[in-house]
Structure 1
Amino acid sequence: MRPTIFAQSSKPGKAGVAVFRISGTQSLYALQQLLYNNPIDKIIPRYMYYQKIYDPISLELIDTAMVVYFKSPASFTGEDIVEVHTHGSIAITNMLYTALLKIEGLSCAEPGEFTRRAFLNNKLDLTSAEGLADLIEAETILQHKQAIQQMGGSLHRLFSQWRQDLLTIISLLEAYIDFPDEEVPPIILEQVQVNLEKLQYTITKYLNDNRRGELLRNGIKLAIIGAPNVGKSSLINFLTQREVAIVSNIAGTTRDIIETHLDIGGYPIILQDTAGIRLSCDDVIEQEGMNRALAAAKTADIKILMIEVRNQNIPDILINVIDNHTIIVVNKIDLINDMEHESYNNQKFIPISITEHLGLDNLLKEIESIASNISGLTEEPPITRARHRHQLEEVLIHLASCDPLGDLVLATEDIRMAIRTLSNITGNITVEEILGEIFSNFCIGK
């Protein structure tokens, strides 16, 4: 029997309300200890009660609180759960924490232990648990929507369907392994081969998504590159609406990569300001800054290449980093009357003036458009973790090894390995290391 656990589920620190959660067979007993002499036999599950909470040993009044009881299995963890909603002062939360430690049979929860118990009690699968973790960490609307989709079981349903397809295939073959004297009808082998190829194609196509879900979950890297003094630092300060980068007329002011996070149209953008790129430089530190700038440009998901309107020549070293996800921006257009060029390398310029706030809405729309193209939500649930991608790649390896026209025993074993690998994603496993890695990333109280 698992021990009864407790933790503060709300964020630690001063707040209007603090929520403590208790899960396990001793939950009601713990509540009885906190209520002192007040009876709990009339407490109805899912009803809130206004009660005084006491220290079970000193009988000191801790607070007046709202308490609620969730009876197993109709709870988040699938166990009996009690929640205590107190005022959120640091003194009250410390006193309640100490009081709960005094109750026999209770222990403090480990990170993610409540969600882990929900998984072990079949209240949710691993992909849904990971979706819940993403929901807690979501900072933008689109991250929230992706997490809600995954927490609702979209990935679980997709991977379970593939698993069921493999179970159907293996059942066709195993029936004949049990009766080796009977030959497998050619139509059965043909059906198995067609189904395997169809599933391989489906999974391969699914994997070729350019990491859409992972980009939305982890953030889209946007690097601002260009020659010195073209306005890169001014642009990053405008986009973040605060003084993130130092603005100066002195070439080489920015020496290292400056990163900041922002939300553009619901997309999580990791904005990178880089050192200015120039052809000749004797400063060793500035040269290192330029090397880092080029490295950032090569790994960025979106690039903004800034040019000064009075000098539209792009250094050859920067031309090599231009791709379909590069936005060429001509800055300081307030200094001239007309643009001399409208495009470069068949890519359209976006003319802007940061000081005069000209063209910046167009730039934001273009960033959002590219972000939508590379990480926008689709009807099919995306892969959100490298763990999922690695397991699916392993599934393809097993399916590629499967030859139903050869040894049936070996063929069914390849399919069985593919089924087990798919099960690793959703959690039809008992591998403690995998579970520990996933749930250790949760906060205490979740």
Structure 2
Amino acid sequence: MILFTVPKYWECIASGQQMIDMSSWLSSIIAGNGFASLYLSEVQNKASYYNENNQQGIKWKHVQKIRPSYLVFACMPNVYVEMLRNLKIHNKTVIKTIELIQKCSFESSASTIFALSTNIRNSGSAIAVIRVSGDETLNVIDSITNGKANHIRAKPRQACLNDYVDPNTNELIDKGMTLWFPRPKSYTGEDLCEFHIHGSMAVISKMLTVIGNIRGCRSAKEGEFTRRALMNGKLQLIQAEGIRDLINARTENQRRRALSGLSGMLHLKFNQWREQIIKLMAHMEAFIDFGEEEMIGDDVMKELNVNICNLKKEIDQHVANTKLKSDFIKDGLHVAIIGQANVGKSSLINKLTEKDVSIISPISGTTRDVVETWMDIDGNCVCIADTAGIKDADHSNVDPIERQGIQKAIQRAKECHLIIMVVDADQVYRHKKLIISDHLKKIIEKKSESELLFLVNKIDLVANSDKRQELASILAKNQMSKPIYVSCINSEGFDDFIQQFKQKIEHNVGTNEDLIAFSNERHVMHLTETSKELAITMKNLDKDLAISSFHIRQASYHIGCLTGDITTEHVLDVLFKDFCIGK
């Protein structure tokens, strides 16, 4: 470990030298050491903490005696101290020194944090919840309840009615409920409390100000409560992602899929794959160690290759079957309503949403831009876009603004997941043919049946049954199969349209019984990389077992990034930046 083999680094820490003097030196050291870079952020925190609090009884002479490669354990969670003992490191001074260094490393981020955990409108709300977590939680309770901490401490997980006061002036702030959750049986794994107060902006502001003035307390960052729960083993990484997705869920299916991560189903699946990879890795290591002494049979290598191949197929199938459907559930299914001008596209979107989304006018070309709205259809998030009427580019009365609207409509039609193609029933019947632009024909040709709904609007204008039969014959000649006849005026055929629309959505998104969906693109990325590493492993299995062993270790790394066995500060920062402050 390059970073930990230079005594100067530890001498800088022990002497309390400022981190700013070491930053460029550290950067050059980690340039060729990816493993060390994972811990650079924590090392910097530790060094910064030493600058202010060099009172942990750490002696430089003891640090100097520790083998440099072991010092890496000082920057890892406590479980790695046990690994030192497993490595037959029995020197008590060495172990104690590393434990002290480690303690400093993590104490630097052990401030007591607080935040408002409920979303409050400007007009206020009935109740607001302020959450506090950390070592100073009891002190916070004692300060603002006028010395009632012992009474509250005796009643963990029970609601206690208290007066909240400003400890500096003894002024009454509010009367509310206090809930105390002692470590480790709390959401964060730390001492935690919740203050349930009245939800006026004045009360909330005063409470947050008073808590912020108590020594050792600071405002929480985005998702910091959940981050601490993760670091303290109260949650798995995928469960933390599930919480984020649950908070952001807008539809029933988004809620269900978020709960699949929160319930541990995803973690179980990924962990099973990781265990298989570790088992395969162990076999390969054994072959490398004993291969020269004992000949490895062809049947053994063949079985190993089959096991790797089966695992790769399972991962690939999982990615292929769930990635697109998961994107639909998480980001929504995008639908474009297209057609010639004045065929009733705007009337359709207004009818669907039961509100005035688009302007309706008998004047051709009223809609000039893409107008979109979101709907929850059977628990699915659907974005429906009304577009400008699509005419051919050489149409004589197309002005520059309308031309731009047509281009946007064409682009949206190409990008969307589902198209609702609208034609005017009366126009088709009167002209005895289907009138659509070349642009529309090209768009339709490139869409599969599952991506297209053909809607014949204004059927109320073709009331006679004989006329409707003739209309159906005209459409059949133009190869427009399975048309849906509707009227946005009298709602004729609308129930049939809604039913078929829902079927198309279900076909694209899937049902609740489908495979578990991924929470985000991070899962897809790591599983794709895992599959690539397994492919390289198989390719080199008969050529060079050492190369195969390296790549299957890389596969284990990527799966470990999903299960949470391997994390970096960057991964956690990206995950928790989308959380609300009080979660």
Asked if 2 retains the 8 angstrom alpha-carbon contact of 1:127 and 1:150, the reply is yes
Q: Deviations over 1:50-87 (max 9, x none)?
A: 11111121211111111111122212111111011011
Which residue of 437, 442, 465 corresponds with 1:315? Answer: 437
Q: Which residue in 2 is equivalent to 1:163?
A: 274
Alignment partners' CA distance in 1, 2:211 and 2:147: 17
Q: 1:168-207 counterparts in 2 under 5 A?
A: 168-182=279-293, 183-207=295-319
Contact 2:141 2:148 in 1 (8 A): no
Counterpart of 1:297? 413
2:526 alignment partner in structure 1: 391
Instruction: Give the superposition deviation at 1:383.
Output: 2.1
State the distance in 2 between where 1:129 and 1:72 align.
19
**1:435 partner letter:** L
Q: Following superposition of structure 1 onto structure 2, how do residues 362-377 of structure 1 map, counting pairs within 5 Å?
A: 362-376=496-510, 377=512
Q: Which structure 2 residues correspond to residues 127-138 of structure 1 after superposition, within 5 A? A: 127-138=238-249
Mapped partners of 1:345, 1:434: distance in 2: 52
Is residue 245–residue 519 contact of structure 2 (8 Å, CA) maintained in 1? no
2:553 to 413, 416, 424: 416
Q: For residue 9 of structure 1, what is the aligned residue in structure 2?
A: 117
- CA offset at residue 160 of structure 1? 1.0
1:311 CA displacement: 2.8
Displacement after TM superposition at 1:180 (Å):
4.5
How far residue 5 of structure 1 moved from its aligned partner, in angstroms, is: 0.4
- Secondary structure in 2 aligned to 1:208? helix
Measure, in 2, the Cα distance between the counterparts of 1:318 and 1:73. Answer: 63
Give the aligned residue type for 1:440: K
The answer to whether the Cα contact below 8 Å between 1:15 and 1:88 also exists between their aligned partners in 2 is yes
- Structure 1 residues 321-360: Cα deviation after superposition (integer angstroms, max 9, x where no partner): 2322211101011111232217563631111111111222
Could you state the TM-score of these two structures normalised by the residue count of structure 2? 0.74
In the TM superposition, residue 179 of structure 1 has moved relative to its aligned partner by: 2.9
The structure-2 alpha-carbon separation of the partners of 1:122 and 1:379, relative to structure 1 and needing over 3 Å to count, comes to: farther
Distance (Å, rounded) in 2 between the aligned partners of 1:360 and 1:39:
63
Which stretch shifts more, 193-202 or 358-367?
358-367
- Alignment partner, residue 429 of structure 1: 566
> Matched residues, percent identical?
35
Within 5 Å, give how 1:41-440 maps onto structure 2.
41=151, 42-182=153-293, 183-209=295-321, 211-279=324-392, 280=395, 281-312=397-428, 313=434, 314-322=436-444, 323-324=448-449, 325-337=451-463, 338=465, 339=468, 340-341=471-472, 345=479, 347-376=481-510, 377-402=512-537, 403-440=540-577
Counterpart CA distance in 1 for 2:378 and 2:149 is 53
Deviations 1:171-216 (A, max 9, x none): 1111122234233232321121011110111111112125101211
- Secondary structure at the aligned position of 2:306 is classed as helix
2:141 to 31, 51, 64: 31
* Shift, 1:386, TM fit: 1.7
Match of 2:21 in 1: none
Alpha carbons of 1:251 and 1:422: their partners in 2 closer, same or farther (altered >3 Å)? Answer: same
Q: Does the CA-based 8 Å contact 1:212-1:383 persist in structure 2?
A: no
| CA shift digits 1:389-418 (9 cap, x unpaired) | 122111111111113222111111110101
SS at 2:157's partner residue?
A: coil
User: In the TM superposition, what is the alpha-carbon distance from 1:379 to its structure 2 partner?
Assistant: 4.3
Amino acid across the alignment from 1:328 = F
CA distance in 1, matches of 2:542, 2:266: 32
Find the residue that maps to 2:311 and give its secondary structure.
helix
| 1:39 Cα deviation from its structure 2 partner | 4.2
Distance 2:480 2:522 in 1: 39
Answer with 265-274 or 115-124: which moved more: 115-124
Q: How far apart in 2 are the matches of 1:379 and 1:345?
A: 34
SS in 1 for 2:329: helix
SS in structure 2 of the partner of residue 417 of structure 1: helix
Amino acid at match of 1:300: C
- Are the counterparts in 1 of residues 561 and 567 from structure 2 also a CA contact under 8 Å? no
More strand by share: 1
Q: Which runs of 5+ in 2 are unaligned?
A: 1-106, 429-433
1:427 Cα shift?
A: 2.4
Q: Specify the code of the residue in structure 1 equivalent to 2:491.
A: H
1:116 Cα deviation from its structure 2 partner: 1.1
The answer for the alignment partner of 2:69 in structure 1 is none
What is the alpha-carbon distance in structure 2 between the residues aligned to residue 301 and residue 439 of structure 1?
30
Distance 2:378 2:207 in 1: 42
1:332 aligned partner, one-letter code: K
Alignment length, in residue pairs? 446
Whichever structure has more helix as a proportion of its residues is 2
Give, in whole Å, the separation in 2 of the partners of 1:258 and 1:191: 58
3-state SS in 2 of match to 1:87: strand
User: Distance in 1 between the 2:379 and 2:567 partners?
Assistant: 37
Any idea what SS the aligned residue of 1:348 has? coil
Question: Residue 482 of structure 2: SS of its match in structure 1?
Answer: strand
CA distance in 2, matches of 1:303, 1:135: 29
Structure 2 letter corresponding to 1:113? E
- In structure 2, what residue type is equivalent to 1:276? G
2 CA distance for matches of 1:184 and 1:110? 55
1:68-111 superposed Cα distances (whole Å, 9 cap, x missing partner): 11122212111111011011111110111111111111100001
SS of the aligned residue for 2:335 comes to strand
Which segment drifts farther, 357-366 or 83-92? 357-366
> Take 1:416 and 1:386, find their aligned partners in 2: how far apart are those partners?
22
